[in-house]
Structure 1
Amino acid sequence: MSNVVVFDLDGVITSEEAYWITAGLVLHELAYSPRYWNLLGSESYVPPATAEECDEAGHEVLPRAVMLGFKARAINSNWDTCYAAVSLCLVDLLARIPDRSSLFPLQPWDADWIAAFRHALSQVEGDKHISLDSYRLLDEPLFQNYVGFELFERLNQYASELFGQQVEGVFARYSPFWMLCQELFQESYLGDQLYEQEHHHAPSQQGRYGCIYLEQSILPAETLRSTLQTLREQGYTLGVATGRPGREAIVPLQNYGLYEYFDAAHIMTHTEVAQAEEKLLARGDSTSLVKPHPYQFLAAANPDYQPHQAVPPRGSFIVIGDTTSDVRGGQAAGALVVAVLTGALTDEARRLLEESQPDFMIPDVTRVPELLQRLDDLATIQRMQFLEREKAEILLRRWFMRYMDLEVDEVKLTPRRSR
């Protein structure tokens, strides 16, 4: 495994802008379609029909800064960032309704409940647009220092305290409400034609543009091709660990001319993670294997790896990521983690990324070949032992694995400066 480099995609290889717009379109449709919340009392809903309209509508209800805040909080999957935004807005709208008693227990995925919610909202006076104040809820003390799926758990607790009614499991990954948002996300991302090809039935709403056509690489494709080619020439096997489902991960790589540089056996998408979770669940094990769980990184590095097997020593392979969940998951998997700053686009995101303590930080993936070449140099390890002895020991253990095919359980350096 010592010659394997596993890349996250979004924020590292691919841009997330198309996904962020998609998340906003899901919220826009839920808010303003008569099928759902219908905040403005419209008789019909016409989805944005052009790239410009998609961009405007998506960012109107879900600004880019909010999405960056979610990413900084290690909500890594774009399905989950979408769901976080929708959930916060739903809580805010519920808080505007004076008498909410008939809406409990909360069932925001159920058509009858949605109709009752829509009617209750129609009785509320004043502005009913999605308020950007909804997202400031995460500034409340209850949410401080919580990241990832912990935020959903805290949202259930917050809603219980706010409404004086028990709210349990409503805001949770894989809940019926999450599944509703995921379905709408896929419809908006793929557009009518691709969605029907992929799912073999028509989408719930016709006329969607398809944000997949807005996809872009994070850096010029030629630059990325050159970087990956250099890594291959250095003897590395390249893999992927991404929250994207299979086709959505592979098609952009093919479009950018990058897919050929990756080893198919080392590509782990959400599709494979979900399949592994299903197998566990059939045995009564409900463990979530999505990042920051180390499973996806381990399976990308070693295709024979199975959940709950022993983790290799630190430094056994390389992970290139851009979020705290990449750092936490990669290090838990025994990897040496290199964080790139192309996905940390705010001061908060960069601060949280630094606090997660990746092994190394670089501006973008173009610096990876030179960094790895330097880290595999014994002279570098010798210099590092004086200031970062633990990291130098990891690198030396990795050197033995990579160049001498020796698995060393422990390396101890005792730095002595020459006289």
Structure 2
Amino acid sequence: MNETLFYLQKRSSEFNREVQDLATRKDFQRFLKRVQTSGGGLRGIRKVQGGAWDGWIYRKGEIDQENVVKRIFQEIYLGDQFPSLYGFGPLFHKGEGLYLHERLLISRTVLGALRRKVRMGIASGRPRFEAELALRRFGLIAYFKSAVTLDECHKEEERAKRSTGRRSKRTKPHPYSILRVIREIGIPSPRCAYVGDVVDDMVAARRAREKVEILAIGFAPGGKKDRTAEESLRKVGADMVVRNPQELLQVVERL
């Protein structure tokens, strides 16, 4: 959100609600000043907008219609990959995508060593297009036997709704994505570990334990000086927390 507002502040000068007008006029400066004097952030937007255009504030609606926040974010994040996903061109940002600045938290060397010892899969909350974009960029697709993304979780939600008449979430902290990865990898009676860096990852792994033998391993790369992330992961049930990829490799070797 901060990156989006920074971009708007840098490139714009008065607000208009129509998407096409926003693209051609880029009049955001006055709007941003009003938001700032009203407290900033989403709270400031709500005060300025009142009850108008909740879809814009709450990120609802279609990306090619009223959902301007999502459109701007996706254009900035995806860059030249935006048309490949959505089938139409960008309006606000025609430069490179921020995804090009992402870096690996675990090196290919360590991933390669892990791959030789265990079968790996991905349970991601990102859309499949974005997950595969990152995997292709770093040359990692072949490292993983299964990848379950936001797309598969949403499809399972729709399937469950047709069956029961009720919608229930399958995204983390629900264990669906983790359990599906384990099933797709296909090892009978597997001993598993799930590595994640946020609270929902640990909660999902703990819930998956009702079905399979699995360790919840937190990943907190901030180092010893930053204990906040580690404490949060332990608080929700992480069996252990590692601070760097080499430590993770050592843990796997001991399993």
| Fold similarity call, TM over 0.5 | yes
- Residues 25, 36 of structure 1: alpha-carbon distance in 2 compared, 3 angstrom cutoff: farther
- Residues 257, 366 of structure 1: alpha-carbon distance in 2 compared, 3 angstrom cutoff: farther
Q: Tell me if structure 2 keeps the 8 A contact 1:109–1:177.
A: no
Q: Tell me if structure 1 keeps the 8 A contact 2:123–2:178.
A: yes
- Residues 282, 346 of structure 1: alpha-carbon distance in 2 compared, 3 angstrom cutoff: farther
Q: How big is each residue's C-alpha offset from its partner over 1:369-389, in whole Å with a ceiling of 9 and x where there is no partner?
A: 3212323xxxxxxxxxxxxxx
- Residues 182, 293 of structure 1: alpha-carbon distance in 2 compared, 3 angstrom cutoff: farther
Instruction: Quote the sequence identity (%).
Output: 23
1:218 aligns with 2:66: no
Matching residue of 2:195: 320
Q: Tell me if structure 2 keeps the 8 A contact 1:241–1:300.
A: yes
The one-letter code sitting in structure 1 at the alignment partner of 2:2 is: G
Distance (whole Å) between structure 1 residues aligned to residue 6 and residue 54 of structure 2: 16
SS at match of 1:267: strand
Q: How does 1:83-122 map to 2 (within 5 A)?
A: 89-95=41-47, 103-104=50-51, 106-109=52-55
1:35 aligns with 2:16: yes
- Residues 185, 233 of structure 1: alpha-carbon distance in 2 compared, 3 angstrom cutoff: same
The one-letter code sitting in structure 2 at the alignment partner of 1:91 is: R
Matching residue of 1:340: 219
Matching residue of 2:230: 350
SS at match of 2:89: coil
- Residues 260, 46 of structure 1: alpha-carbon distance in 2 compared, 3 angstrom cutoff: farther
Q: How big is each residue's C-alpha offset from its partner over 1:205-261, in whole Å with a ceiling of 9 and x where there is no partner?
A: 253432122222124xxxx22222222332x11000112211221232232232222
Q: How big is each residue's C-alpha offset from its partner over 1:172-226, in whole Å with a ceiling of 9 and x where there is no partner?
A: xx744998233332222112x321122111223253432122222124xxxx222
- Residues 216, 46 of structure 1: alpha-carbon distance in 2 compared, 3 angstrom cutoff: farther
- Residues 346, 278 of structure 1: alpha-carbon distance in 2 compared, 3 angstrom cutoff: farther
Matching residue of 1:68: none
Q: Tell me if structure 2 keeps the 8 A contact 1:340–1:364.
A: yes
Return the structure number with greater relative CO, CA threshold 8 A, min gap 6. 1
The one-letter code sitting in structure 1 at the alignment partner of 2:55 is: W
Q: CA deviation at 1:29?
A: 5.7
Alignment RMSD (CA, Å) = 3.6
- Residues 244, 175 of structure 1: alpha-carbon distance in 2 compared, 3 angstrom cutoff: same
Matching residue of 1:271: 151
- Residues 199, 94 of structure 1: alpha-carbon distance in 2 compared, 3 angstrom cutoff: closer
Query: TM-score with structure 1 length normalisation?
Result: 0.47
The one-letter code sitting in structure 1 at the alignment partner of 2:5 is: L
SS at match of 1:109: helix
Q: Tell me if structure 2 keeps the 8 A contact 1:242–1:269.
A: yes
Q: CA deviation at 1:333?
A: 0.8
Larger radius of gyration: 1
Q: CA deviation at 1:337?
A: 0.8
Matching residue of 1:259: 141
Unaligned runs of 5+ in 2: 19-23, 29-34
The one-letter code sitting in structure 2 at the alignment partner of 1:340 is: F
1:370 aligns with 2:245: no
Matching residue of 1:288: 169
1:186 aligns with 2:74: yes
Matching residue of 1:249: 131
- Residues 30, 365 of structure 1: alpha-carbon distance in 2 compared, 3 angstrom cutoff: same
- Residues 46, 317 of structure 1: alpha-carbon distance in 2 compared, 3 angstrom cutoff: farther
SS at match of 2:55: coil
